[in-house]
Amino acid sequence: GAGVSQSPSNKVTEKGKDVELRCDPISGHTALYWYRQSLGQGLEFLIYFQGNSAPDKSGLPSDRFSAERTGGSVSTLTIQRTQQEDSAVYLCASSLNSGVEQYFGPGTRLTVT
Amino acid sequence: AQTVTQSQPEMSVQEAETVTLSCTYDTSESDYYLFWYKQPPSRQMILVIRQEAYKQQNATENRFSVNFQKAAKSFSLKISDSQLGDAAMYFCAYRSPNFGNEKLTFGTGTRLTIIP
C-alpha cells in the first residue's frame, strides 16, 4: 500500500514569508507526528496528533509554528514569517492508533534565503 | 526527560564484515521501546529493528541484531555481513509506553560507510 507522502519535496522561500508543508499519512493511521531535522539540532519532535486533536505540541519552537489536521487524515504544518534558522528537513510520520511503530515520509527540505 | 546518546558520529566497515553501532539512553521509566532507524540519502527513515524493554531476549531481524542491556541502559546494533546498501545514517530512538507521550527521542546519529 501507499506510504506516508509529503509535499513539496523541496521548498525555497525568502525570509519573512509564510510556508505550508503537507503530510498525507498511511490510510487508516490515526496518529501523526511532525519532526524537524537540522544540522544544529538533530532530529527533534514538533507535534503529535491523535485524530484531529494535538495532545502534545511541546516541540513547536515558537508561536510562528502551527499545525492542523483535518478529517483525521492530511496534516499541514505552517511556518509564519520564516527565519533562516527554520531551514531544515521536516519529517512526518504516522502510526496505527498510537501503535508502537512510526512510518516516516520522505520529508520536505525547507531552505530560507 | 529521556535522552539518547550515540557517541560514534562515523563508522566504517569492510563489505561482508560485522559492525556494531553504540547507543546509550537515560530514562526513569521501567518500560519503554527502543528502535534503530536507517536514513539513506533519500532521507526516508526506515525502521530497522525494535526492542521492548520488558523483553529480555534481544531482537533480531535477518542480518541485524541488538544487544540490549537494560541495567546499563545500552542498546547497540550489530550488522552482520555488511552490504553496500547498508550505507546510511543510523539513528537510535526511544519511545515511552505512556499514552499521549508517543513521540520518538532520537540520538544524533552514526554515519555508516561500507568499504567495497
Q: Tell me, what amino acid is at A41? A: Q
Q: Cell triple for residue B24?
A: 546509550
- Judged by CB atoms closer than 8 Å, whether chains meet at A42 and B99 is answered as no
Q: Which chain B residue is nearest to residue A6, measuring alpha carbons?
A: B44
Q: Cell triple for residue B29?
A: 521509566
- Of A55, A102, A106, nearest to B104 by CB-CB distance is A102
The pLDDT value recorded for residue A83 is 97
Length of chain A: 113
Q: Which chain B residue is nearest to residue A40, measuring alpha carbons?
A: B108
- Say if residues B110 and B9 touch (Cβ distance below 8 Å): yes
Q: pLDDT digit string (tens) for B9-46?
A: 999 999 999 999 999 999 999 999 999 999 998 889 99
The pLDDT value recorded for residue B98 is 82
A-chain residues near B50 (CB < 8 A): 100-101
**Residue A89, strand partner residues:** A37, A109
- Say if residues A31 and A98 touch (Cβ distance below 8 Å): yes
A107 touches chain B (CB under 8 A): yes
Arithmetic mean of pLDDT over chain B: 95
Q: Which chain B residue is nearest to residue A56, measuring alpha carbons?
A: B100
Q: pLDDT digit string (tens) for A23-81?
A: 999 999 999 999 999 987 789 999 999 999 998 899 999 999 999 998 889 999 999 99
Please list, in sequence order, all residues whose beta carbon lies within 8 angstroms of the beta carbon of residue B77, skipping any fewer than 6 positions away: B20, B21, B23, B36, B48, B49, B64, B65, B66, B90, B92
A104 touches chain B (CB under 8 A): yes
Q: Please give the Cα distance from A66 to A7 (Å, whole number).
A: 17
Does residue A97 register a pLDDT over 80? Answer: no
Q: pLDDT digit string (tens) for A13-22?
A: 999 999 999 9
Q: What is the mean pLDDT of residues B65-88?
A: 97
Using CA atoms, how far residue B48 sits from A3, A52, A105, in Å, is: 16, 29, 15
- Of A50, A103, A106, nearest to B43 by CB-CB distance is A106
Give residue B63's pLDDT band: very low, low, confident or very high (50, 70, 90).
Answer: very high
Q: Which chain A residue is nearest to residue B93, measuring alpha carbons?
A: A43
A-chain residues near B109 (CB < 8 A): 42-43
CA triplet B49, B32, A5: central angle to 5 degrees? Answer: 50
Q: pLDDT digit string (tens) for B90-102?
A: 999 999 988 777 8
More confident call, A12 vs A98: A12
Between A37-51, B50-64, B76-90, the lowest mean confidence (pLDDT) is in: A37-51
